[in-house]
Amino acid sequence: MVLDILQNFTLFATDKKHRRIKVICRYQQYETTNKMIARVVAGYPKKGLIWHFQGSGKSLLMVFAAQKLRMHPRLGNPTVLIVVDRIDLDTQITATFNAADVANMVGVGDRQELQRLINQDVRKVLITTIHKFGEATGEWNARKNIIVMVDEAHRTQEGDLGRKMREALPNAFLFGLTGTPINRADRNTFWAFGADEDEHGYMSRYSFQDSIRDKATLPLHFEAPEVKLKIDKAAIDEAFKQITDDMSEQDRDDLAKRAAKMAVLVKNPERVRAVVEHIVQHYQTKVEPNGFKAQVVCFDRECCVLYKEVLDELLPPEASAIVMSAGAARRTSPRMRPARQGRRGEAAGQLPRPQPPAEVPDRHQQAAHRF
């Protein structure tokens, strides 16, 4: 075990301050990597679902696994494919691999390059997004020593994009990693990555409680404020039926789709103001006194701008910043045009730092608030 850690689970990486640091695996990374290796060497099962809580080091787990898979003498110089579903995750994981000086690593630029590399049987570590399989047709490579590690396995990898990836790589091993709780009622993720041999569908599970026990994560304390948005579905359905009694079934369905959008309720001006007032009050009384900043997660981009407008009425404009990818929405919506794109870390660095309290409580007693 010690020799295994020295050879396969010890990295010399470069941090953001350009300092050379030594990185050694944590136990869940070591155990999970070796489970993956064992499956690939044995040839079965050809998939596995890995649920490790957020912040537990899934990117480094993929680095350890990719390097050990590539160097394993019994795997015949395999291809390791790292698949993500967002460009920012692609950038993050590529940066982690680059910082660790992973050999023979390629960040795939476009769909044509991905197909060319796979068709040409390139034996390297390829990092790509799931969307580059969007136009894939038929089989690209049927080799058995292609290992795919999918980040955020509970999202787009379950749909058509995931299906096309499986058709392109019919004999590949598929390991799905996620840190987001999976709804047991939604069987898609377990079907896509969970092996029948695994208890409860997980090859490896590192829970929130495990993370707190290891002091890798601070306890989370949730407050559930009263939501004054109550809907009497039965009454609405009855009223809708009476109003649309003379309409055709197709017209009735079209009207229902337009009228029932959640966004109409979420973006009601009175509701937006009430929510933002609650956020400001909560932040000023419970978060700011401890010297922390805060993050607000909104329904969509427009909702983000609406929140910002009300925040600017209640606080100085420089007290908050928008972080989002506006894209086409900025060009088509006048309201979106003033919104500046940015990364979370950059935006946080530009915000004024709250004054720390006179006496900072023990870190394990601090509460992490999320709205």
pLDDT score recorded for residue 113: 92
Q: Looking at the chain, which runs of residues are DSSP E strands?
A: 10-14, 20-24, 47-52, 79-84, 105-107, 125-129, 146-151, 173-178, 204-206
**Nearest-CA neighbor of 192 among 114, 72, 85?**
85
Residue indicated by tokens 């197909």: 115
pLDDT tens per residue across all 371 residues of the chain = 899 999 899 988 877 788 888 999 999 999 999 999 999 999 989 999 999 988 888 889 999 999 999 999 999 899 999 998 766 666 778 888 888 878 888 888 888 899 999 999 999 999 998 888 887 888 899 999 999 999 876 554 556 788 888 899 999 999 988 887 666 555 566 767 878 888 888 899 999 889 989 988 888 778 877 766 665 667 667 766 777 777 777 777 776 666 555 667 778 888 899 999 999 999 999 889 988 899 998 888 888 999 999 999 999 999 998 888 766 555 555 666 555 555 555 555 566 666 655 454 444 443 333 33
pLDDT score recorded for residue 279: 93
pLDDT score recorded for residue 368: 37
Burial class of 170 by CB neighbour count within 10 A (0 to 12, 13 to 18, 19+): middle
Domains observed in the chain: 2-213 (3.40.50.10810), 233-350 (no CATH)
Tokens representing residue 42 in the block: 């044995």
β-pairing verdict for 20-24 and 47-52: unpaired
**Nearest-CA neighbor of 32 among 71, 54, 61?**
61
pLDDT score recorded for residue 361: 45
Phi and psi angles of residue 184, each rounded to the nearest 5 degrees, phi first: -65, -25
Query: Which of 339-348 are b and which e, b meaning 16 or more Cβ less than 10 Å from the residue's Cβ?
Result: beeeeeeebe
Residue type at 172 in one-letter notation: A
Query: Which of 94-124 are b and which e, b meaning 16 or more Cβ less than 10 Å from the residue's Cβ?
Result: bebbebbebeebbbbeebeebbebbeeeebb
pLDDT score recorded for residue 338: 55
Strands, sheet with 47-52, edge to edge from the N-terminal-most edge strand? 105-107, 125-129, 79-84, 146-151, 173-178, 47-52, 204-206
Tokens representing residue 114 in the block: 């991905």
pLDDT score recorded for residue 236: 66
pLDDT score recorded for residue 190: 73
Burial class of 42 by CB neighbour count within 10 A (0 to 12, 13 to 18, 19+): exposed
Q: How many residues does the chain have?
A: 371
